[in-house]
Amino acid sequence: MATVNVHDAKTHFSRLISRVESGEEIVIAKAGKPIARLIPLSGKIKKRKPGTARGKIVISKSFFEPLPEEVLKDFEN
């Protein structure tokens, strides 16, 4: 595991990303103190599939009705 300072990390970010892509872990330090770690993501990131919660969430018609006056007053204060 390599350690680089913040300035070098900013200057050579693309190179560091290439190293991480090949499996290396990089620690970023500020004033010699480790503050962050660049690590490769494990596995593939799954793409979001829209509609997977269809039928699982129910919104009642009262959701669209105006709020009671006492509740509206709380928002105004």
Question: 46: helix, coil or strand?
Answer: coil
State mean pLDDT over 7-14: 96
- Please indicate, yes or no, if residue 19 is contained in any of the structural domains: yes
- Please indicate, yes or no, if residue 15 is contained in any of the structural domains: yes
Residue 47 is predicted with a pLDDT of 82
- Please indicate, yes or no, if residue 11 is contained in any of the structural domains: yes
Q: Reply yes or no on whether the pLDDT at 16 is more than 80.
A: yes
Residue spans of beta strands (DSSP E) within the chain: 2-5, 26-30, 33-38
Residue 43 is predicted with a pLDDT of 67
Instruction: Render pLDDT for 31-53 as a digit per residue (tens, 0 to 9).
Output: 999 999 999 987 676 788 898 88
- Residue 19 lies in domain: 2-38
- Please indicate, yes or no, if residue 27 is contained in any of the structural domains: yes
- Please indicate, yes or no, if residue 7 is contained in any of the structural domains: yes
Residue 4 is predicted with a pLDDT of 96
- Please indicate, yes or no, if residue 48 is contained in any of the structural domains: no
Residue 64 is predicted with a pLDDT of 94
Domain count of the fold of the chain: 1
